């Protein structure tokens, strides 16, 4: 690999959401601030939505690492679960014993008892779901019913949903209006702009131990932003490929040529850029047709 060539201690652009590489960019920082403020209020649902690869799982891990001690967390990373499986997963996370064997009724009762017990010990309980767009519809409803559990002054369970935008499309349906109303805080993660991409690449290289001269110029970072649309995962994929190609060709500085080769090698990005070329060509063709139509009709 290219570690020795560039003087790196580890790979800077791996795809795992490793919190050691976390850079407090505006969108991620704001999302965390919203989460912590919302958790303080102790109310209902909190939702963080972001496109594929924008850093939701990383934020989820940051939240789990940094959540104040009095919170007890139940973390469900893959919620492809029916209501029953979801209930059991929550029970197991909360430390309800023998949850796998109980009837639904008993299980619900035990969850409630456990929540009251934790509440009595001064804890707040948060259920955190990543990939929440994958929750089946009846599980979403089961989730809403969970948050009905409350004392006279406080909810016994708060829910944080991390999801791709498909969740919003699903929640837009009439049958989810009750759940929708309970989402008291929501945050939409945006993609990075060019200067954030530059900071991002620089930061990851530094964390990985890079000490040399500038590898990715501001100009090149602008191009990377354009082709990756500022999505962190795509920036990682491209940067990693560029480093590999650069190493193979003996370069110590990244170039547009290397970026082009990396794009060519990356299916999702190539399809994206092909799609935008097609879109803009069609747009161009339409404008020409309109122009001809209006000059012809205008003359008649």
Contacting residues toward ligand ATP, per CB under 6 A: 15, 17-18, 21-23, 25, 28, 50, 52-58, 164, 232-233, 236
The entry of Mg ion, ligand ATP, none that residue 217 binds, CB within 5 to 8 Å by partner kind: none
Closer to ligand ATP by Cβ: residue 150 or 166: 166
CB 65 to ligand ATP: min, Å? 13
Number of neighbouring beta carbons within 10 Å of residue 167: 20
Answer yes or no whether residue 193 interacts with Mg ion by CB under 5 A: no
The entry of Mg ion, ligand ATP, none that residue 140 binds, CB within 5 to 8 Å by partner kind: none
Closer to Mg ion by Cβ: residue 56 or 62: 56
Closer to ligand ATP by Cβ: residue 62 or 87: 62
CB 71 to ligand ATP: min, Å? 21
Closer to ligand ATP by Cβ: residue 56 or 88: 56
Q: Three-state SS across the chain?
A: CCHHHHCCCCCCCCCCCCHHHCCCCHHHHHHHHHHHHHHHHCCCEEEEECCCCCCHHHHHHHHHHHCCCCEEEEEECCCCCCHHHHHHHHHHHCCCCCHHHCCHHHHHHHHHHHHHHHHHCCCEEEEEECCHHHCCHHHHHHHHHHCCCECCCCECCEEEEEECCHHHHHHCCHHHHHHHHHEEEEEECCCCCHHHHHHHHHHHHHHCCCCCCCCCCHHHHHHHHHHHCCCHHHHHHHHHHHHHHHHHCCCCCCCHHHHHHHHHCCHHHHHHHHHHHHHHHHHHHHHHHHHHHHHHHHHC
The entry of ligand ATP, Mg ion, none that residue 155 binds, CB within 5 to 8 Å by partner kind: none
Contact map string, positions 225 to 264, toward Mg ion, x by CB under 5 A? ----------------------------------------
Closer to ligand ATP by Cβ: residue 146 or 216: 216
Answer yes or no whether residue 57 interacts with Mg ion by CB under 5 A: yes
Closer to ligand ATP by Cβ: residue 44 or 53: 53
The entry of Mg ion, ligand ATP, none that residue 23 binds, CB within 5 to 8 Å by partner kind: ligand ATP
CB 42 to ligand ATP: min, Å? 26
Answer yes or no whether residue 75 interacts with Mg ion by CB under 5 A: no
Packing angle, helices 104-120 and 83-93, rounded to 10: 30
List interacting residues with Mg ion (CB under 5 A).
56-57
């Amino acid at each position: 690999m290219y570690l020795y060539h560039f003087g790196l201690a580890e790979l800077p652009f791996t795809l795992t959401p490793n919190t050691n590489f976390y850079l407090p960019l505006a969108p991620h920082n704001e999302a965390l601030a919203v989460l912590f403020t919302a958790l303080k209020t102790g109310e209902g649902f909190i939702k963080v939505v972001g496109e594929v690869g924008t850093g939701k799982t990383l934020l989820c891990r940051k939240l789990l690492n940094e959540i104040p001690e009095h919170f007890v967390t139940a973390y469900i990373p893959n919620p492809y679960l029916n209501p029953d499986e979801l209930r059991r997963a929550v029970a197991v996370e909360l430390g309800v014993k023998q949850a796998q064997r109980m009837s639904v009724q008993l299980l619900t009762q035990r969850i409630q008892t456990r929540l009251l017990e934790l509440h009595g010990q001064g804890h707040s309980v948060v259920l955190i779901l990543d990939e929440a767009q994958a929750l089946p519809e009846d599980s979403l409803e089961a989730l809403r019913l969970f948050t009905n559990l409350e004392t006279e002054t406080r909810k016994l369970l708060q829910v944080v949903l991390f999801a791709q935008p498909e969740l919003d499309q699903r929640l837009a349906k009439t049958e989810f209006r009750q759940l929708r109303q309970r989402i008291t805080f929501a945050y939409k993660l945006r993609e990075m702009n060019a200067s954030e991409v530059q900071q991002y690449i620089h930061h990851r290289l530094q964390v990985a131990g890079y000490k040399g001269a500038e590898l990715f110029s501001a100009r090149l970072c602008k191009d990377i932003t354009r082709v990756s649309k500022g999505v962190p995962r795509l920036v990682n994929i491209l940067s990693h490929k560029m480093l590999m190609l650069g190493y193979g060709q003996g370069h110590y500085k990244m170039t547009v040529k290397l970026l082009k080769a990396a794009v060519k090698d990356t299916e999702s990005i190539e399809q994206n850029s092909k799609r935008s070329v097609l879109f803009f060509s069609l747009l161009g063709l339409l404008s020409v047709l309109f122009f001809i139509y209006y000059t012809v009709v205008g003359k008649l």
